Structure 1
Amino acid sequence: MKASPTLTGNLQTVLVDLIELHVQGKQAHWNIVGTNFRDLHLQLDEIIDAARQFADDTAERMRALHALPDGRTSTVAKSTSLAEFPAGLIDTHDAIERVVAALEAAVGTMRKVHDEVDEEDPTSADLLHEFIARLEQFAWLVNAETMKPTAKVATPSKK
């Protein structure tokens, strides 16, 4: 099978968000300070490892479909849907909010392209299912760091 331009574009969109998620995770990992530093520092390692693996899986799937992945920094910077992560030290609470937002943005991209991907290549859609499930789990785990036990229900983002 050879990927159509639509499938190639959709997988490329997922790829750049996964690369950016990995890079933002490292930025947070290196610069967080504050309460529960160690727990978040270690949790970020898990997210980073998953994002790197998912990016590699996506790029290799693209190559299997005779598409050319583009993971150059210039491409990622101009086409990611993730908001820019701030420079410098960041409090754990603020980092949690930003990491959850980045995870949700990456998932949002995957959900946005899912139906078109599934229509052309269910195998690639299966990868997206795996990525979505794991990234949503990470978002829940990270977000739980700042939730209060009085919270009734966590409200998902509207993206």
Structure 2
Amino acid sequence: MATVNSPLKDETALRTTADALQGALVDLIDLSLVAKQAHWNLTGRSFRSVHLQLDEVVALARQYTDTVAERAVALGINPDGRVRTVADHTKIRQPDGGYQSDDKVIASMTDTLAQVIARFRERIKATEETDLVTQDIFINLTAGLEKQHWMFEVQTQ
């Protein structure tokens, strides 16, 4: 792994942290794109509230995309947010094309956020022994994702 004078001297710790940061970057970039796609193609009675909530998800994902990428650089790791990289490595289920009803978008975002949160919880555990600063970023981000998940989930009941 090519690094620029990383503060993490242990190669295994650096690799684990790098993998967690890169996976997070892919999740966040694609989450912002999936939420924006839903935002543009939303229809239904709850249009306005869901439309605005999707923007909150996009803003959260974009904010933390930069935070995660900059953390990687601070550790001497090259973040890779290229379209091809995201397309090849995303684990987020892609939305159907065309207009989507508010109920379908709410259910889809609830599921997508739950899956992303599960991966972030794995990253929190993975970085517990390797880099507490990265772990702290993941903890704060996960709290924001869990809030968004809750706000979508209550609309499914």
TM-score strictly above 0.5: yes
Matches of 1:64 and 1:34 in 2, distance apart? 44
Partner of 2:52: 42
Matches of 1:139 and 1:43 in 2, distance apart? 11
Pair 1:55 & 2:65 matched: yes
Q: Indicate if the aligned counterparts of 2:29 and 2:61 stay in contact, CA closer than 8 A.
A: yes
Matches of 1:64 and 1:100 in 2, distance apart? 33
Partner of 1:142: 152
Partner of 1:26: 36
Moved >2 Å (runs of 4+): none
Superimposed CA distance per residue, residues 46-72 of structure 1 (whole angstroms, 9 cap, x where no aligned partner): 111001001111001000111011111
Q: Indicate if the aligned counterparts of 2:106 and 2:152 stay in contact, CA closer than 8 A.
A: yes
TM-score (norm 2): 0.90
Secondary structure, in 3 states, of the residue corresponding to 1:145?
helix
The aligned runs of 1:1-150 (5 Å cut-off) are: 1-2=7-8, 4-147=14-157
Q: Indicate if the aligned counterparts of 2:123 and 2:135 stay in contact, CA closer than 8 A.
A: no
Secondary structure, in 3 states, of the residue corresponding to 2:128?
helix
Report the RMSD for the aligned CA atoms in angstroms.
1.1
TM-score (norm 1): 0.89
Instruction: Report % sequence identity.
Output: 37
Q: Indicate if the aligned counterparts of 1:81 and 1:109 stay in contact, CA closer than 8 A.
A: no
Query: What are structure 1's unaligned runs of at least 5 residues?
Result: 148-159
Q: Indicate if the aligned counterparts of 2:26 and 2:86 stay in contact, CA closer than 8 A.
A: yes
Residue 146 of structure 1 deviates from its aligned partner by: 2.4
Query: What are structure 2's unaligned runs of at least 5 residues?
Result: 1-6
